[in-house]
Chain A
């Protein structure tokens, strides 16, 4: 049993889900006591990679070594026993159970002989762990009553409670303000100093520079490389992550901005967002960015009629807009491309053609019956227009790559006569080739007179594509940045600063 300098080593990992290769021959080496950043864009395979390490998914190919010894995890408990703990991106909690139980689920403290759970000990231990992390809530509180940041602390406490040697943090800062992130950095450093090895997953450079000593990059489910953080230039890292230089990725676009088409005034929904105001003109691409959970998606979904707002009003084409459901919104001329295309955008079990025509079926029907020939014709021409790569329109959508699936969703939007398109993370989980095709498509749409709201977390995308950017934090718009003042720093400041949103009011560009 050779002791290795690596706490964890993975070689040639391949994981296949029906229809997609989520990981393709991936390598990773984690030294004992280091913080190793794992970077890549959304959908690069990072999350699947963690689930392989933690035993949730068994890989089809590849080997895994723990301290130089080969291991194979068939089940999450195997990984837990080996001292691996993960803090997942989407907090995975039991909302009905107490904080203590959430921390100790799967490894409760029990009395040896009677196998009785020692509640008092667990509450005390939970209190201690939470205290260490600087959290002030009672461990007996039900998990569902906590905020996202608090729930994240509980997740960290969970990792601490198993005394994990390897801790994986999956985008832990995605929803945190800068003060909260700073606190998280300190916790991570303390864990490292106590001998834990940490895999820190993020697509934010600040996280990496602040914390990590090594960085590994994945792109399109493939392993790209590993570097020392102080040896790689920022631009090289971007090329590694994105696949080409950013300037090549975004097409030049001549602004051709027309009259105002949509104006939102003081929109609010209790618990989600408040005081959201902006306007959008024909031909304009308005960026909407901010931390995960800042309320961007919620605003879009309210405009699209998925949810209702309880304050403010929306003015569309000069008239006040009232939509009760997505159908109304589409009839009026507002289209929405959702963030989660697998759950909200597509019927995966269906073929390309049927997916494209679903939202405009009336157009192909006479007396209620569907005119299948006409439907097929339209579906075929739209699929060809957006450049879906497939053999026929009868190919199942589930068999397509992420990029091609997204093109199908775009084709769906083109079936209706729309004026405003709300695109929520349109390039998430899409490979580079498809990405630039999508960017070109968005520009093309803007040129032809659509008003476009582009929601995105990817900084280069926001800066490269948008004419103006609204930054949201904690449910409010904290800045409206024009193209001339659009920099990474300005966006970050507006999205993460802990000062009251009101303080930034003075700096807002005229909307």
Chain B
């Protein structure tokens, strides 16, 4: 074996640095902001930006663990139902006389358990794929919410609970602070830790990861459980902002969350993408939605745009790859 020296410095080029997907998102956010600012002179005012942000941040909490799930090549479409179920259970327990604090703990616990069940089913029944497993639990979880609450609303929470979604700390919305803390935590987990490295490994090649001593099943269960927990966190903020809950809240959240993750550049084939992309996508879709609201675009039109955004953000990389390989031949 002749001795050989390998370089241990990465080559840095400005071209590859600026050709990253995240820059596209930054440009798009700027474009949307310019559009919004031209539609409304108040848009760029601090108070307005702050309140706009508060409006769309609730579901952003689910985006964080969903990044992990999609990175591993899985999907979880039951998150919206978990939001509903933990919100309904929290309200139900509170109405049965449990102190609000404990009711919240119970809500968080329920979400965590729901996520854990998803994870266990996914790893125990590998032949089923996470699509069908979470499809079934999606119906079941919302079904339980309907059984508990029928089609009624439940509310009358204590005042302090309302603050969760509406209050500011030092002029900054509490929900934004909470999101920032979670985002930094999840970003650190994904990019700096052993755990995150293993998640990437699973997404790229689950078999090789297992052969390399990565406990694939354990990590998957943990990530699905985290998704359950964060869905419950979303449930807290959403319920607080709405002041009451119903068994049909948060419907369609799964689409929005998945759209944000995919738009953030996380590949549905697994193993590729970064947390920052998904976070940028949260703000992009949030501002877009705000701007469309300014020009009185209907909620239905928004559905169409969201659906198309999802399709486009998956299709563009696919098509790019296809054309690249065609040119090579």
Q: Which residue numbers of A lie inside 8 Å of B, CB to CB?
A: 60, 304, 306, 325-327, 329-331, 336, 338, 343-350, 352, 354, 358-359, 361-362, 365, 368-370, 376-377, 380, 383-394, 412, 416, 437, 440-441
For the complex, is B96 an interface residue (Cβ under 8 Å from A)?
no
Complex contacts, A390 vs chain B, CB 8 Å:
6
Please determine whether A338 and B211 come into contact, CB atoms closer than 8 angstroms.
yes
Secondary structure dominating the interface of B = loop
Chain A's closest residue to B7 (CB) is A392
Chain B's closest residue to A386 (CB) is B1
Q: How far is the CA of A344 from the CA of B11 in the complex (A)?
A: 29
Q: How far is the CA of A345 from the CA of B215 in the complex (A)?
A: 15
**Interface size bracket, B side:** 20 to 34
Q: How far is the CA of A441 from the CA of B205 in the complex (A)?
A: 27
Please determine whether A306 and B193 come into contact, CB atoms closer than 8 angstroms.
no
For residue B59, give the distance in angstroms from its CB to the closest CB of chain A: 28
Q: How far is the CA of A306 from the CA of B197 in the complex (A)?
A: 21
For the complex, is B322 an interface residue (Cβ under 8 Å from A)?
no
Complex contacts, B213 vs chain A, CB 8 Å:
325-327, 329-331, 359, 416
Q: How far is the CA of A131 from the CA of B272 in the complex (A)?
A: 52
The residue that B211 contacts in the complex, of A344, A348, A387, with Cβ under 8 A, is A344
Q: With A343-B207, A392-B6 known to touch, is A361 a contact of B215 (CB < 8 Å)?
A: no
Please determine whether B210 and A326 come into contact, CB atoms closer than 8 angstroms.
yes
Q: Mark B1-42, 1 if CB is under 8 A from A, else 0.
A: 111111111110000000000000000000000000000000
Please determine whether A358 and B6 come into contact, CB atoms closer than 8 angstroms.
no
Q: How far is the CA of A352 from the CA of B204 in the complex (A)?
A: 14
Q: How far is the CA of A354 from the CA of B10 in the complex (A)?
A: 13
Complex contacts, B95 vs chain A, CB 8 Å:
none
The residue that B207 contacts in the complex, of A327, A344, A370, A389, with Cβ under 8 A, is A344
For the complex, is B214 an interface residue (Cβ under 8 Å from A)?
yes
For the complex, is B220 an interface residue (Cβ under 8 Å from A)?
no
For residue A359, give the distance in angstroms from its CB to the closest CB of chain B: 4
Q: Which residue numbers of B lie inside 8 Å of A, CB to CB?
A: 1-11, 188, 192-195, 197-198, 201, 204-205, 207-215, 271-272, 329
Please determine whether A370 and B193 come into contact, CB atoms closer than 8 angstroms.
yes
Complex contacts, B209 vs chain A, CB 8 Å:
347, 358
Q: With A347-B205, A384-B4, A388-B6 known to touch, is A327 a contact of B211 (CB < 8 Å)?
A: no
For residue A336, give the distance in angstroms from its CB to the closest CB of chain B: 7
Please determine whether A380 and B6 come into contact, CB atoms closer than 8 angstroms.
yes
Please determine whether A358 and B193 come into contact, CB atoms closer than 8 angstroms.
no
Complex contacts, B188 vs chain A, CB 8 Å:
369
The residue that B5 contacts in the complex, of A329, A338, A346, A384, with Cβ under 8 A, is A384
Complex contacts, B205 vs chain A, CB 8 Å:
343, 346-349
Complex contacts, B11 vs chain A, CB 8 Å:
394
Chain A's closest residue to B9 (CB) is A392
Complex contacts, A348 vs chain B, CB 8 Å:
204-205
Q: With A384-B5, A384-B6 known to touch, is A412 a contact of B212 (CB < 8 Å)?
A: yes
The residue that B8 contacts in the complex, of A345, A380, A388, with Cβ under 8 A, is A380
Please determine whether B201 and A383 come into contact, CB atoms closer than 8 angstroms.
no
Please determine whether B1 and A387 come into contact, CB atoms closer than 8 angstroms.
yes
Complex contacts, A326 vs chain B, CB 8 Å:
210-213
Q: How far is the CA of A349 from the CA of B203 in the complex (A)?
A: 11
